[in-house]
Every structure is written in C-alpha cells, then in structure tokens.
Amino acid sequence: MNSVQSNSSVTNKLSPEEERAPAAVLKGSVFTLPILKLSRCDLREIEIDLTQSLSAALDFFNHAPLVIDLALTQELDEAMDFIGLQALLHKHQLVPVGVQNGTPDQIAAARKAGFAVLTGQTIDKIIENTAQKSHAKESPKSTRQQRENERSQAVDDDHAGSTQVIHQPIRSGQRVYARGGDLILLAAVNAGAEVIADGNIHIYAPLRGRALAGVTGDMDARIFCQCMDAELVAIAGTYRFFEDDIPDEINHKSVQIYLTGDQLNIRPLE
C-alpha cells in the first residue's frame, strides 16, 4: 500500500534530484498504490471512517496517491458523488488518482470528474488468486481464467499479503513498508529510520529508529525486538515517543509491544 515504490522495498525519503534530463520523457512502470475501498456513497459516513483509519496510520498517507475501489458499491441504488469525494479526499491530504471495479455508470461519472479508470484488483483478490495459482500448478489443465489471473498477478503476488524479510540494516532516512503483511528484519533499524507494516514487525537486532505495526488499523498487530532503543513505537496508530527516557526495565532489552484496548504495552520478553 506504500505509494511510489515498484520493486525495491527500501527507499530513501530524501531523494537527491538526478542529472540534467530532457524536460519530458514517457516511461512505463509499475506502481503499487494504496486502495480506498468504499461500501457506501454517503460522503459524511465516508469521512467519519476515513478520519479514523487515517489517524491510525499517523501521517503515513499524507499526500499519498490513492485508488478508489468501487466493488462494494456496485449494487447500491444511490450514485456516487465523485466531485464531492475528490474534494473530501483532498481535504484529508490524499490524492485520488483513479477508480477501479465500478459499474459502467460509475465509470462514466468518475471519468467526468477527472479520475483515471484502472483495471486493478484488490488485495483480497490477489491473495485468492495466489491460492488459485498454486492450485493451478498442480493440475495441468488449468482453466483459461486461472491462467489469465496468473498473468495479471505476476508483478504483485510476491509481496502483497506475504511476509517481507529484510537482511540489511535500515539506515537513517530510509523507510521500509510491508504492505498487507508482516515485516521481519535481521539487521538493525537505526536512528532516523522507519519500519512500517500492516501486520506484525519482528526485529532480530536493535531497534533504534521508529517501528509502526498495524498501520491500517490492525489492533492485534505486535512489534517484537531484540534490543529496545526506539525513538517511537506504534500499534494501529497508538504511539509512544522516547527521548533518552526509555524505562530501565525495557531499555536495551528484548521486548514485545502490543495493545490492550487503547493502552500500549511494552513488556520485556522473559
């Protein structure tokens, strides 16, 4: 769900600009964009729920390009007010770029409002399809539909919904995001670095930077780390900062971090 990263999972937040280039060059590329799934058309209701998930994600979605998924609104009687929706998203510092899975009427209305129309699939479908794919490999007579699914998922199913394992240290200025799954780190997360996951985060090394688990709202997500030295930890948006004030019983210790209600617990692993 991270915005503009295609194949590399580690990016530098501060990207120095490149050499002199022609003023415009058209290039093909593959992006993974966050998806906003709508199930109703009432903008007020949308805003309430959106505000909630955004606060859970801290400022992670700030100015993020976004795709609106209409699959669950196809059956509804009301029409979607795309211009109003766009204004609402802009107000929340989101940049909607397109819609997917709409009815022909919805697509026409979205086009009119300036949205691109994408033929993507949601994470759920991707996971379904991955299952289908392994199934398809077993039976030589895979259906045409299955083969098509396979092809359309080839770019994405390595990461979506699965665990990401990172072997190199994450350094100051770098950010790693495990979309739709867990993140396992085998080297240090240094001060000024950020590791983020929709699921759990496991760090078998010192955590000196920031770790944010369950950023899309999973309150059951946990963070495990071998040496607690963090600047910030967060689960589903409930966070705690540290400024040289990590309590002795957890400082430099192996800990797990989890939520009970809205209480963030940091406990040594015995």
Partner 1 sequence: MAKVIVVTSGKGGVGKTTTSASVATGLAKRGYKTVVIDFDVGLRNLDLIMGCERRVVYDFVNVIHGEATLKQALIRDKRLANLDILPASQTRDKDALFKDGVEKVLNELRKTHDFIVCDSPAGIETGAVMALYFADEAIVVTNPEVSSVRDSDRILGILSAKSKRALDGDDPIKEHLLITRYDPNRVQTGEMLSIDDIMELLGIPLAGVIPESQSVLTASNSGIPVIHDEVSVSGLAYQDLVERLLGEEVPIRFITPVKKGLFKRLFGT
Q: Give whichever of 38 and 183 is closer to partner 1, judged by the CB atom.
A: 183
Choose between 8 and 260: whose C-beta lies nearer to partner 1. Answer: 8
Q: CB of residue 5 vs partner 1: minimum separation in angstroms?
A: 11
Shortest separation between residue 243's beta carbon and partner 1, angstroms: 13
Smallest distance from the beta carbon of 23 to partner 1, in angstroms? 15
Across the beta sheet with 263-268, the strand order is 164-166, 183-185, 201-207, 223-228, 255-260, 263-268
- 188 touches 170 (CB < 8 A): yes
CB-CB contact of 236 with 215 (8 Å): yes
12 vs 143, beta carbon nearer partner 1: 12
Which residue, among 6, 63, 92, 58, has the nearest Cα to 210 in the 3D structure?
Answer: 58
Provide the binding-site residues for partner 1, judged by CB under 8 A.
Answer: 8, 10-12, 14-20, 168-174, 187-188, 190-193, 208
CB of 252 to partner 1, least distance (A): 12
Q: Is 4 exposed, middle or buried (0-12, 13-18, 19+ CB in 10 A)?
A: exposed
Provide φ and ψ at 186, rounded to 5°: -105, 5
Phi, psi of 55 (to 5 degrees): -65, -30
Q: Which is nearer to partner 1, 14 or 25 (CB)?
A: 14
State in angstroms the smallest separation of the CB of 185 from partner 1. 13
Contact (Cβ atoms closer than 8 angstroms) between residue 176 and residue 10:
yes
Asked if residues 216 and 198 have their Cβ atoms less than 8 Å apart, the reply is: yes
Give 19 or 77: the residue with its C-beta nearer to partner 1: 19
